[in-house]
Amino acid sequence: MSEPREAKRQPKAVPIFEGEMPSVSDGIQVNVPVRPNGHSRVDIAINGKVVDLKDRQKIIFLVGRGRLGKTTLAWLLAETALSAEREVLLGDLVPTEETFSLARFFPKNTSKPKARNDAESTKRFLSGFVDHVKAHGITTLVDMGGGDTAFPSLLSELDGLAEALESEGIHPVLLYVAGTSRGDLDPISVVESFGFQPQATAIILSEMSRKAGETFDQAFGPIRRQPVYKQLIAREAVELSIPVLHASVAGAVEGGLSLYDARDTNQLGGIMARTYARTWINEELRRLKPIESWLP
């Protein structure tokens, strides 16, 4: 996921999904043959403790509370892939029609529910969206929004979703974004409790939630000691982080300016402003290097 020289301004259109599946019946079971060792997970290459998903179709779920930099991260991943002319489909489950969303900036590549902030509509969308992804063989990045309840609801009706996706050749990637508050672990606890635990799982700590003067350990020590966090590390989830984005860049990006335009043009300001943007992009891509093969 090396940084391209220049962002691609007109991304290639991909077949977005605009429909919904009928309501999922209660009690659906996803059956995957169990291997002799008792595991149903499909075998894929391992590089050390990190699953190698290079050149494989992936569906990447970004999960976490709002205001932690999750959508900023999604925007960076999408813009980096499209700038390099890699085909990627985006899913936008942000519950409101915000300026700062994948659907607003990448309309040709983004699928979204017909009715936002409606759990049942979003759940039907997700059901059909997965089949759409499979049919077109496109790696997909989904911003699950800051308060989504549809994904846990869907998981409660499906047993073995991660294994079922893998058996179809779609490798699930789960990127949790968390800040310093113990409440930031709530979405993680819910998803984990339903058994959706792909091998390719990372927990990304957002330094945007750190207080001034706090060390990394002071800021994140309390949540790293929580049982659900320890369980993630025990199942070999990769621990990463998001650096602080300078306020001038963050404000412009939330207003609709792309990260790469902030870096490459004078729309944000002069040399210092562009340098802040470039520094953040380079640093975050460096921090994501251990899971490069998981990304679009």
Q: How many domains does the chain have?
A: 1
pLDDT of residue 152: 83
Q: Give 184-232 as a 3 state SS string.
A: HHHHHHHHHHCCCCCCEEEEEEEHHHCCCCCCHHHHHHHHHCCHHHHHH
pLDDT of residue 97: 61
Burial 96-108 (b: 16+ CB within 10 A, else e): eebebbbbebbee
DSSP single-letter state for residue 68: S
Q: Cα 123 to chain center, whole Å?
A: 17
pLDDT of residue 12: 59
Strands across the sheet containing 110-111: 110-111, 89-92, 140-143, 58-63, 171-178, 200-206, 238-242
Domain that holds residue 135: 48-245
pLDDT of residue 19: 65
DSSP single-letter state for residue 107: T
Q: Phi then psi for 142, rounded to 5 degrees?
A: -120, 120
Going residue by residue through the chain (296 aa), what tens digit of pLDDT does each one get? 544 444 444 455 677 777 664 433 333 333 333 333 333 333 333 344 688 999 999 999 999 988 899 989 999 999 999 999 999 999 998 876 666 789 888 988 999 888 777 778 888 888 889 999 999 999 999 998 866 677 888 888 888 999 999 999 999 999 999 999 999 999 999 999 999 999 999 999 999 999 999 999 999 999 999 999 999 999 999 999 999 999 999 988 888 888 999 999 988 888 998 999 999 999 999 999 999 999 99
Residue 121, domain member (yes or no)? yes
Supply the CATH number for residue 114's domain. Answer: 3.40.50.300
CA atoms within a 13 Å half-sphere pointing along the CA-CB vector of 186: 10
pLDDT of residue 17: 75
pLDDT of residue 80: 96
Residue 148, domain member (yes or no)? yes
Distance CA 221, CA 141 (A): 29
Distance CA 8, CA 5 (A): 10
Residue 84, domain member (yes or no)? yes
Residue 215, domain member (yes or no)? yes
Residue 53, domain member (yes or no)? yes
Residue 19, domain member (yes or no)? no
Residue 164, domain member (yes or no)? yes
Residue 23, domain member (yes or no)? no
